[in-house]
Amino acid sequence: MNHSEGMKYIKSIKIRWISSGLLSAAFLAISFSLLVLSVWNSISPVSYWFILPISLLISLGLIQIFRLSKISEADISRLLDQTYPQLEESFSLVLKNSEKLNMLEKLQIEKIKNEMQRIQAPALIYKRLKISTIFLVISILVSIFISTLDFGTLNNNSLGIEKEAKPSMPDKILPEISSIRLKIIPPAYTTKNTRVQQQFSATVEDGALLEWVIETSRPASKIKFIFNDKENIKLRSVNKSGTRWAVSKTINQPGFYQVQLDGKLSDLYQLETIKDEPASIRIITPKQYSTIDFGEPQKTNLQVQINDDYGINDTYISATISSGRGESVKFKEQVIRFNESMKGKQEYKLQKTIDLPKLGMVPGDELYFYINVTDSRKQQSRSDIYIVSIQDTAKLMSMDGMLGGINLVPEYFRSQRQIIIDTEKILKDKNSISEEEFKNRSNNLGIDQKLLRLRYGKFLGEETDEEIGEEHQETTAAEESAAFGNAEKIMDAYAHKHDIAEDATFFEPELKAQLKATLTEMWKSELRLRTYKPVEALPFEYKALRLLKDLQQKSRAYVSKTALKTPTIKAEKRLSAELDKIIQPLAERTILKSEEQNALKKSTSIIAKLKDGKKLNQSEYSILQEANRNLAAKASAQPGTYLKALGIMRKILGKSRKVSFGELSTMEAALQNMIKNEVKTPQATIAAPKTSLSTEYFNSLKRQQP
């Protein structure tokens, strides 16, 4: 192989290499485009013609990545030398002009000349093409699989949104009807688009407008709809030939209907309604009853989550401030708006920091508030009432309520009050005494706080100074982890010891937990008094005092507050003396009359007779007629549950009377479900004799009565 032949051979390999790379880039680009468009089309319809521009852009990018334009003859010669060892890495000599070769290079070319004639194009240049071809085949299969899935349904389910219900089976329509077009126009509050279907049965939003257009195969003289066996609506002819009929109706409740075409009735068609649920309100913070103690910021952080099925138009905080006591109590109402504006979204997470002093609140006042929400249908929802109070230190320090009622160790309660008085006196005298005296008085007061804490600790079985509120719990947890596997520690958990706080049984668990919290506040107060920080100790002292006073009140019997939702008072109706709108409240209960119950019970036995293949007499058909009326009333209220059974019942009462065993079982289950609603009245039971000694004795007493 001379120089010209070698260059010609290298160019042919170069063309094959570049062609293979271009095909690889095209196959990969088509694969990626096909996968993207398949997923996109499953979510929202899109034309597959977009494959061409997308594939072109991806191909250009892959060509740059593969560096196809930079493949040189030297790269090909190196590839040949690496692929075929018999060339002895000398194929690059062919690239040189024969006149410029030395003697050794010429001899080397002669040596490998025969090997050069036998070599083929390296398989490595087709490796990328093989991989891209496999990837293209896989992408085609995956795209076919994706096209069978409904990504809209999967996406809606993951978001907790129910997809529109569709009839599971196509409707059976009259043979005279060639086509049906039902246009469903959802009400404005749903913000949903108009949709069209080719079935009579439908699931629609509450208040939706339905427009039917029916095409008949021959001219009809009269067509009407029969809703719930009660309401008849005539269709109007929209052409002269009488083959096109239309009607519209607003649906506000579930039910069923039939088509009557020139006296011929169709099957029963189901109409289900989707109710607009009121907005749900969940207040995350604060707690329903919260108190702001002395030294804490007089603010409350409100966090609310609001959800609605269609959208939220407005929300606000209705606040009422209660100030004063007894007959001098005053109330002030105001509306507080959130910072975020409502844009009709289905979910909002709102925050609001309420500055209580800016509302005019002072210590001792209480804030009552609730959240009011208006959804897109103008339905109003409101939360429970939440109460935030600012602790009144003046009232807390008073002795009111300590002289009457049951009292928990009043001398200790008075001591905590005295500690607060002494702490405030130290702070008042701080500038007029020496630093040493200030520290001594603060330390002595800390000792008094410790003695008071230990006295209260005896009520919880804390007979030593080692068990101190939260710090003791952390220490105990550390000791338990360190003593894992210790037999003595395990036995201590089951042994009864008098100096263990958890074994104390002076109080109920709720009072016991509050007393523990009181000891924790005392410990925090003591810690700061011992470190000469009485200013920081004062809030903990007040909180300990409030908890103790709550314990005093809990020792009495009382009725807890409940959230009260009062109706809005209309000013124009006040003092008008009009009572015609006031009616007696009625409790709705599904109670069937005894005749109806008997008809249903007899119907089940008649259905069982039909399942055995026996014929019915006229009286049994009359009983089924009565059951049919009851079933129609139930189907109008719950079509999804009873409509199928009603259709089967009418087949039994019809002319053909051909019903399968499975349909009879469905009919029987529906009747049994209606019978379950029967309300049982209390009755005296008569037991068999000698069932038990007590029953026999009771029956003997009854027999002896005159």
386-390 vs 289-292, strand pairing mode: parallel
Q: Are residues 142 and 9 in the same domain?
A: yes
* Mean pLDDT across 317-337: 83
User: Rounded distance, CA 687 to CA 92, Å?
Assistant: 112
**Is 449 domain-assigned?**
yes
Same domain, 423 and 543: yes
In a domain, 234, yes or no: yes
Identify whether 365 is part of a domain: yes
- Enumerate residues 6+ apart whose C-beta is below 8 A from 614: none
Residue 681 has pLDDT above 70, yes or no: no
Q: Is residue 588 part of a domain?
A: no
Query: What is the rounded distance in angstroms from the CA atom of residue 479 to the CA atom of residue 488?
Result: 13
Q: Are 496 and 546 in a shared domain? A: yes
Cα–chain center distance at 52: 42
Same domain, 353 and 254: no
pLDDT at 405: 43
Judgement on whether residues 353 and 372 belong to the same structural domain of the protein: yes
User: pLDDT tens across 465-493, in order?
Assistant: 554 544 444 444 455 555 555 656 555 55
| Cα(27)–Cα(33) distance, integer angstroms | 10
Q: Calculate mean pLDDT across residues 389-397.
A: 74
Poorest-confidence range of 73-87, 278-292, 368-382, 531-545?
Answer: 73-87
More confident residue, 30 or 86: 30
User: Where among 128, 147, 166 does a domain terminate?
Assistant: 147
Strongest mean pLDDT among 9-13, 118-122, 218-222: 218-222
Which of these ranges, 52-66, 74-88, 600-614, 661-675, has the smallest mean pLDDT?
A: 74-88
Asked whether residue 259 is domain-assigned, the answer is yes
Whether 388 and 335 map to the same domain: the answer is: yes
For the domain that residue 221 is a member of, what is the CATH number?
2.60.40
Q: Are residues 320 and 452 in the same domain?
A: no
Q: 305 - beta bridge partners?
A: 282, 349
What is residue 418's predicted lDDT score, i.e. its pLDDT? 85
Token pair for 546: 């409030």
Q: Quick one: CA torsion of 635, 640, 641, 645, rounded to 10 degrees? A: 60
- Mean pLDDT over residues 564-573, rounded? 68
Residue 349 has pLDDT above 70, yes or no: yes
- Residue 180 pLDDT: 92
Assess contact for 370 and 382: CB atoms under 8 A: yes
Judge whether residue 558 has pLDDT over 70. Answer: no
CATH number of the domain within which 356 lies: 2.60.40.10
The model's pTM is 0.51
**CB within 8 A of 512, min separation 6: which ones?**
460, 504, 506
Answer yes or no: do 514 and 436 share one domain: yes
- What's the confidence (pLDDT) of residue 247? 92
Q: pLDDT tier at 409 (50, 70, 90 boundaries)?
A: very low
Q: Which of 590, 473, 451 is nearest to 525 (CA)?
A: 451
Q: Examine residue 80 and state whether it is found in any structural domain, yes or no.
A: yes
Q: What is the mean pLDDT of residues 141-164?
A: 55
Do residues 264 and 289 both lie within one domain?
no
**Residue span of the structural domain in which 256 resides:** 177-274
* 423 and 526 housed in the same domain: yes
Mean pLDDT in residue range 15-24: 77
Are 322 and 386 a contacting pair, CB within 8 Å? no
Residues 74 and 128 in one domain: yes
- What per-residue confidence (pLDDT) applies to 96? 58
Residue 684: inside a domain: no
Tokens in use for 190? Answer: 């749903």
* Domain finish residue from 223, 248, 274: 274
Any domain includes 432: yes
State residue 565's pLDDT score. 61
pLDDT, residue 422, reads: 87
- Residue range 166-193: mean pLDDT, rounded: 83
Asked if residue 527 and residue 463 are part of one domain, the reply reads: yes
Domain count, the chain: 5
Q: What is the DSSP string of 115-147?
A: HHHH----GGGGHHHHHHHHHHHHHHHHHHHHH
Q: Which is more confidently placed, 61 or 287?
A: 287
In terms of average pLDDT, the best of 129-133, 315-319, 414-418, 624-628 is 315-319
Domain boundary among 360, 394, 428: 394
Q: What is the pLDDT of residue 283?
A: 92
What's the pLDDT score for residue 407? 43
pLDDT at res. 401: 47
Tell me whether residue 203 is exposed, middle or buried, using C-beta atoms within 10 angstroms of its C-beta: 0 to 12, 13 to 18, 19 or more: middle
Query: Regarding predicted confidence, which is higher, 562 or 485?
Result: 485
Concatenated DSSP letters of 333-362: EEEE--SSPP-S-SEEEEEEEEETGGGT--
